[in-house]
């Protein structure tokens, strides 16, 4: 199977030059192992090699012997290996010794000894539109954040085509397959989370029916700030609400599986008397999982354009996170007590930031641009710098800068 280059390739190469071990974390099926295999000289598969249990019982240090960089795939199956790697890095005093990949985060006890100074951590997401060849890459996020005006050729996705791409998501294993095959994949993915994976990472049997209902509730509320209480009521019904602590435990397990990828609120300085809201927006690691959780089809997605708009927002945020990660950026959302809401804020370590509204249809561009301009006025520029970019991301059209300074950029023209 052809390997599609990932932005993580560049990050992994750079991290191996500066750290003894690199940990790649990401959801099951996002492509961690294949990316690591492009540079690894030897590999240990903790989830597939029957000899590993014997080796770990007798002398775990032997597992680390081999050509470097040595890939320790699904290392969390034997989380005690973390400390052996840490000590081995200290002993060898060389860079680029190990790559660890994992699709679940072990509990804190498993990593009780810090890897500071030995490990570098990369968070890997599913593939962006650009990595899958579905974006022209004519508009660079980094260039937008430098204040450059975007340009591109017109793009035109029919709703059906865009719904199919959302259904297939960024899963490397779905490259070249039909939308129906993609639907089977995400349906099975969600089923396995409910029936096996959540109980495994929780180390406690979880009711698959209840897990499925929670996943469905998260899917219905994708791209929103739905509360724990609302999720509880939506999942189990008004006559059988689950207590908040149990809901939090389920959500924590989903985060450890890297199934969910919530968007935190932006904390910044504003001039107005508005209070900033702190609740995160709920997202899956890939919006296709919402489609799988609800058992939707491409036709059903198209039939509900309001919901399709929320899925498109989640798709765009996934891509913005991938592109921002490549340049050390972080992604947030903004909402204040006076009702102003901005879908995405991208902020770099040097203080450069930009605001993005995400609209499936180009008819909503004027309203979105007005929201961005309202935000720019609210910012206290004596404490933080003005935005370098105000941008509306759309499903179709072409990239340009409006007379008011707001950029309009189709998602399928973006890259890092």
Write the pLDDT tens digit of every residue in 262-290: 999 999 999 888 889 999 999 999 999 99
Looking at the predicted structure, is the pLDDT value of residue 141 above 70?
A: yes
Chain centroid offset of residue 246 CA: 24
Q: What is the token pair recorded at 214?
A: 């929670």
Contact (Cβ atoms closer than 8 angstroms) between residue 70 and residue 99? yes
Its pTM stands at 0.94
Looking at the predicted structure, is the pLDDT value of residue 377 above 70?
A: yes
* pLDDT interval class at 308 (50, 70, 90): very high
Rg (CA), the chain: 22
How far apart CA 118 and CA 97 sit, in angstroms, is 10
**Cis peptide leading into 69, omega within 30 of 0?**
yes
- Edge-to-edge order in the sheet of strand 42-45: 42-45, 70-73, 98-102, 21-25, 119-123
Residues forming beta bridges with residue 260, ordered by sequence position: 284
DSSP 8-class letter at 137: -
What's the confidence (pLDDT) of residue 390? 98
What's the confidence (pLDDT) of residue 274? 85
Q: What is the token pair recorded at 297?
A: 């089809």
Strand 341-347 to 330-335 pairing: antiparallel
**Cα–Cα distances in Å, from 73 out to 79, 96, 110?**
12, 16, 17
SS3 of 270, please?
A: strand
What's the confidence (pLDDT) of residue 189? 97
Give the contacts of 361 (CB within 8 A, at least 6 positions apart): 305, 309, 394, 395
Give the count of alpha carbons within 13 A of 109, CB side only: 1
Contact (Cβ atoms closer than 8 angstroms) between residue 296 and residue 187? no
Closest by CA position to 283, among listed 264, 269, 296, 257 = 264
Give the contacts of 281 (CB within 8 A, at least 6 positions apart): 223, 224, 225, 262, 263, 333
Mean pLDDT of 87-103: 96
Contact (Cβ atoms closer than 8 angstroms) between residue 118 and residue 20? yes
Mean pLDDT of 315-329: 97
Mean pLDDT of 289-316: 97
* pLDDT interval class at 111 (50, 70, 90): low
Q: What is the token pair recorded at 78?
A: 């034997």
Mean pLDDT of 222-242: 81
* pLDDT interval class at 100 (50, 70, 90): very high
Mean pLDDT of 35-42: 98
Of 154-168, 230-244, 301-315, minimum mean pLDDT range = 230-244
Closest by CA position to 139, among listed 394, 351, 405 = 394
What's the confidence (pLDDT) of residue 272? 84
Contact (Cβ atoms closer than 8 angstroms) between residue 357 and residue 375? no
Looking at the predicted structure, is the pLDDT value of residue 187 above 90?
A: yes
Of the segments 202-206, 270-274, 366-370, which one has the largest average pLDDT value? 366-370
């Amino acid at each position: 199977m052809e390997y599609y280059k990932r932005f993580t390739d560049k990050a992994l190469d750079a991290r191996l030059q500066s750290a003894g071990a690199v940990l790649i974390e990401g959801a099951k099926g996002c492509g961690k192992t294949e990316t690591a295999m492009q540079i690894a000289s030897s590999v240990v598969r903790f989830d597939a090699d029957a000899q590993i249990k014997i080796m770990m019982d007798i002398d775990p240090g032997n597992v680390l012997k081999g050509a470097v960089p040595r890939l320790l795939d699904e290392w969390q199956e034997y989380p005690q290996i973390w400390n052996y790697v840490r000590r081995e890095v200290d002993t060898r005093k060389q860079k680029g010794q190990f790559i660890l990949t994992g699709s679940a985060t072990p509990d804190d006890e498993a990593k009780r000894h810090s890897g500071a100074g030995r490990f570098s951590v990369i968070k890997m997401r599913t593939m962006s539109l650009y990595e899958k060849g579905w974006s022209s890459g004519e508009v660079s996020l980094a260039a937008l954040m430098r204040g450059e005006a975007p340009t591109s050729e017109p793009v035109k996705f029919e709703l059906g085509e865009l719904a199919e791409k959302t259904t297939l998501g960024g899963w490397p294993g779905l490259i070249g397959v039909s939308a129906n095959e993609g639907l089977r994949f995400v349906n099975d993915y969600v089923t396995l989370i409910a029936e096996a994976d959540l109980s495994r990472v929780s180390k406690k049997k979880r009711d698959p029916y209840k897990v499925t209902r929670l996943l469905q509730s998260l899917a219905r509320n994708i791209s929103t700030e739905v509360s724990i209480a609302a999720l509880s009521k939506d999942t189990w019904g008004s006559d059988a609400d689950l207590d908040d602590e149990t809901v939090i435990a389920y959500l924590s397990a989903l985060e450890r599986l890297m199934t969910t990828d919530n968007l935190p609120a932006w904390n910044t300085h504003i001039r107005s008397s508005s209070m900033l809201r702190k609740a995160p927006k709920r997202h899956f690691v890939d919006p296709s999982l919402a489609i799988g959780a609800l058992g939707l089809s491409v036709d059903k997605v198209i039939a509900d354009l309001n919901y399709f708009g929320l899925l498109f927002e989640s798709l765009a945020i996934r891509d913005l996170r991938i592109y921002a990660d490549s340049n050390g950026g972080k992604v947030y959302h903004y909402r204040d007590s006076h009702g102003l809401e901005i879908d995405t804020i991208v902020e770099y370590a040097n203080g450069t930031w930009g605001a993005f509204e995400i609209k499936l249809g180009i008819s909503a561009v004027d309203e979105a641009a007005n929201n961005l301009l309202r935000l720019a006025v609210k910012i206290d520029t004596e404490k933080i710098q003005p935005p370098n970019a105000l941008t509306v991301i759309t499903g179709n059209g072409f990239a340009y800068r409006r007379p008011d300074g707001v950029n309009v950029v189709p998602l399928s023209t973006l890259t890092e």
